Copies of this chain bind each other. A is one copy, B any other.
Amino acid sequence: MSAINYELIHVCKQTGARYGKLYTPHGVIETPIFMPVGTQATVKTLSPEELNDMKAQIILGNTYHLWLQPGDDIIKEAGGLHRFMRWDHPILTDSGGFQVFSLSQLRKITEEGVHFRHHKSGAKLFISPEDAIHIQNNLGSDIMMSFDECIKLPAEYGYVKQSVERTLRWAERGLKAHKNPKTQALFGIVQGGDYKDLRRLSATELVKLDFPGYSIGGLSVGESKETMYQVIEYTVPFLPLDKPRYLMGVGSPDALLEGSIRGIDMFDCVLPTRVARHGTAMTSNGRVVIRNKQYERDFTPLDHECNCYTCRNYTRAYLRHLMKAEETFGQRLVSYHNVYFLLNLMENVRHAIKEDRLLDYKEQFFEKYGLNDPKNTREF
């Protein structure tokens, strides 16, 4: 018996997108879902109560960061990550693989694991697939990730093939090392770059190991969105219908919609909080750079159609002032809005799936957001 169970409730007739429920030890999640990222045991600037208010159902923690600070042993001693950070709902942790490969410059990959240097202090570090599982067992997340090599694109076929095969061996080692399969669900991560046959190889071999869920990794690493969507299409057909599918590190509004349409159930990204800290908001009418002078005397809400705490209470002029004055309360208010915006977007997506009109909803959203404008070359 697995720690989680996925129930597929409805497939959108217009797109094939899935509406479902994921039963976890800390509650039920409706999918498709966007998961706010709480890298260092906090979703930057926000309290657990605020995340609850905006109906966040599940959040992420980052294994790499928590391992280094405060240390997974301390979090275990605190009673696990849920208790440490006071979040009673589900938590998903990544494996640390992405950070090892993206933050650390000096690294050496062996069959045993990865040697690398601390991203700030430069100290020598090593992590094996077993270590990644051990750390996550200590953190006590509801959903854990296998340790994988995350390759930047473009990458050479020969290297990707060798890497995919090693990541498969690492996945199997992780499964064996996992101590709490009844209370923590370990996902396998599909890799394979942008090569169709390697994605298929990775997916089919992982499925043989019968993980309770599957992630699609190695995307949002430099490739175009077209490539990303193609890789999803290469992969999803090889994943079982009765298991959740998680597209790692992807959270721009367009990708959330395109991913859902292609059968993805779970998404995460630092985008909403990261851009908020620089004063950029996602609104129903597109991107708003609130620091801009044009908002100096704009006494209207950030997003007219939004019902979040920030939009119900504050003006663009006030938010612009806070950003100009470098007040963290401004970062907090824009972070609140952006996370709310994506959670609300996914609620709309779920409604649209249930009513078999996700393609219509996407067209309508894209049009208003400005994503149909060929001159719009922004990332989100």
Interface residues of A (CB under 8 A from B): 40-42, 44-47, 65, 69-70, 74, 77-78, 84-86, 296-297, 299, 313-315, 317-318, 320-322, 324-325, 327-332
- A to B CB contacts below 8 Å, 12 in the list: A40-B325, A41-B322, A42-B327, A42-B330, A45-B328, A69-B325, A70-B296, A70-B325, A78-B317, A84-B321, A86-B318, A328-B332
Shortest Cβ distance from residue A320 to the other chain B in the assembled complex, whole angstroms? 7
A86-B314, A318-B84 known; A324 and B45 CB under 8 Å? Answer: no
Which single member of B44, B78, B296, B315 contacts A299 (CB below 8 Å)?
A: B78
Number of copies: 2
Chain B's closest residue to A321 (CB) is B70
Do B70 and A329 touch across chains, with their CB atoms under 8 A apart? no
Do B328 and A331 touch across chains, with their CB atoms under 8 A apart? yes
A194 to B45, CA, bound (A): 44
Contacts of A313 in B (CB 8 A): 86
Shortest Cβ distance from residue A337 to the other chain B in the assembled complex, whole angstroms? 14
Do A318 and B40 touch across chains, with their CB atoms under 8 A apart? no
Do B77 and A299 touch across chains, with their CB atoms under 8 A apart? yes
Which single member of B69, B315, B322 contacts A324 (CB below 8 Å)?
A: B69
Shortest Cβ distance from residue A142 to the other chain B in the assembled complex, whole angstroms? 20
Do B74 and A41 touch across chains, with their CB atoms under 8 A apart? no
Which single member of B78, B297, B320, B324 contacts A77 (CB below 8 Å)?
A: B297
Contacts of A70 in B (CB 8 A): 296, 317, 320-321, 324-325
Contacts of A331 in B (CB 8 A): 328
Shortest Cβ distance from residue A177 to the other chain B in the assembled complex, whole angstroms? 26
A69-B321, A84-B318, A313-B86 known; A44 and B77 CB under 8 Å? Answer: no
Shortest Cβ distance from residue A333 to the other chain B in the assembled complex, whole angstroms? 8
A69-B324, A297-B74, A321-B70 known; A44 and B329 CB under 8 Å? Answer: yes
A77-B299, A86-B313 known; A47 and B329 CB under 8 Å? Answer: yes
